[in-house]
Each structure stands twice: as C-alpha cells, then as structure tokens.
Amino acid sequence: LADEINRTPPKTQSALLEAMQEFEVTYGGKTYPLDRPFFILATQNPIEQAGTYPLPEAQLDRFLLYIQIGYPTALEEKAILANTTGNKKPVVNPVINGEEIKELQSLVREVSINEELINYVSNIIRSTRPATSEVPFVKEWVRWGAGPRAGQALILTAKARALLKGRYAVIREDIHAMAFPVLRHRILMNFKADAENITPDLVTEKII
C-alpha cells in the first residue's frame, strides 16, 4: 500500500515502477525478487498538490485501474463513527490465502470472450486516440489516447467481473462497467479540456 504516492520523490517512484513491471526490487546493487501474489494499491490526494511529484504517464499506465473514492454514504459514515471511537478492537479474519489468489488469477484468464467483443474493445481503445478516432469530441479535447496495455486491462478486468457475477463468458455490460476505471488514467486531456473541466470519464462516456 503506497499512501499518497505523488508525494514520493522520483527515485522512489522509479523503484516502484520496477516492482510493478519486473516483480523485483534492486537496492545497493542487489536484486530482490518479490513473492507472488504481489500487487500495489496506491492513493493520491486530488486536492493538495503542493510538494507533490506528478507520476509520469508510463508509470500511471502500469496501474490496472484508477478508482475514485468519494465521501461515504450516511450508513457507512455512521458505521465508521461507531466502530472507530470506542475501545473495541476490530477483528480481521483472513478469507483467502496467497495460493488461492494465484489460482483465481489463472481462472480469470480462462473466462471466454468472443471475437466480436475483442474487436469492440479494440475500437474503444483506438477511439481514445485523436489520430485514429472517429469521435469529434476526442479530436477536440484529448491530447493523448490510451495504449495497447489499456485494451489488455479492459479485457482482463471484464473477465474478472464476469467471474464475480457467476459467468464464464464476458458480455458487453462487463466492458462498459470496467471502461471508466481502466481508461481514467490513460487518457490525457489537452489544456483546453483542463480549463473547461472536461474529464477522461466524459470522453469514455462519449465513446461507449
């Protein structure tokens, strides 16, 4: 868990990128392999930008999803207040072990997706790029579109969603549901879009 990752200096960010890409860390000239399963959850504070180091696009692309977390619901906030202001210590029980996680990761890849939906994903990704997009909105507001890794992420997360829903085949609804968190950090808006508060989510909505 990397908290407020945009406050880490570039050297630390570089080490994190190595871990995400190579599943190993090099320190003092020695390389240490990381145990599997290995994944990184990182947070950013979207409000306070002073003293931060924006993550380069190549590093952002390594993250599978960009999930926005807003305020809790009324019931969630009530539970937070009730559970964190007393003297009762929370009990955390494991529900799955590492080997089971690896098995599920392999199972996700076995979920089927037909050629029509693969073409659909490819068209979505290509439509985010101003040079190849047929969507005028993209040409007007987007500086740089998503790369091939976005398509891989969209298919894999759609497969995972299908499995969680009890299905062994991807449907279009899975792709629509995962398109926003997959593309949110992979579509770079131009200066005009930033000034007008045009977001990647709005671009994705126009495309799908």
How confident is the model over 74-105, as pLDDT tens digits?
999 999 999 899 898 888 899 999 999 999 99
SS3 103: helix
Q: What is the pLDDT of residue 120?
A: 98
In a domain, 24, yes or no: yes
In a domain, 194, yes or no: yes
Structure tokens given for 124 = 């979505």
Q: What is the pLDDT of residue 143?
A: 94
135 and 53 within one domain: no
In a domain, 198, yes or no: yes
SS3 158: helix
- Report the DSSP beta bridge partners of residue 32: 25
Q: What is the pLDDT of residue 51?
A: 65
Quick check: 49 pLDDT over 70? Answer: no
Question: Residue 197: exposed, middle, or buried by beta-carbon count in 10 A (0-12, 13-18, 19+)?
Answer: exposed
Rounded Cα–Cα distance for residues 167 and 85 (Å): 41
By DSSP bridging, strand 30-33 and strand 142-144 are unpaired
Reported pTM: 0.88
In a domain, 39, yes or no: yes
Q: Which residue has the tokens 């999930």?
A: 67
Q: Identify the residue with better confidence: 12 or 138.
A: 138
Q: Identify the residue with better confidence: 123 or 24.
A: 123
**Which tens digit of pLDDT belongs to each residue from 125-135?**
999 999 999 99
119 and 182 within one domain: yes
Structure tokens given for 186 = 């992979």
Quick check: 147 pLDDT over 80? Answer: yes
122 and 189 within one domain: yes
Band of pLDDT at residue 29, cut at 50, 70 and 90: confident
Supply the mean pLDDT for the chain. Answer: 91
Quick check: 54 pLDDT over 80? Answer: no
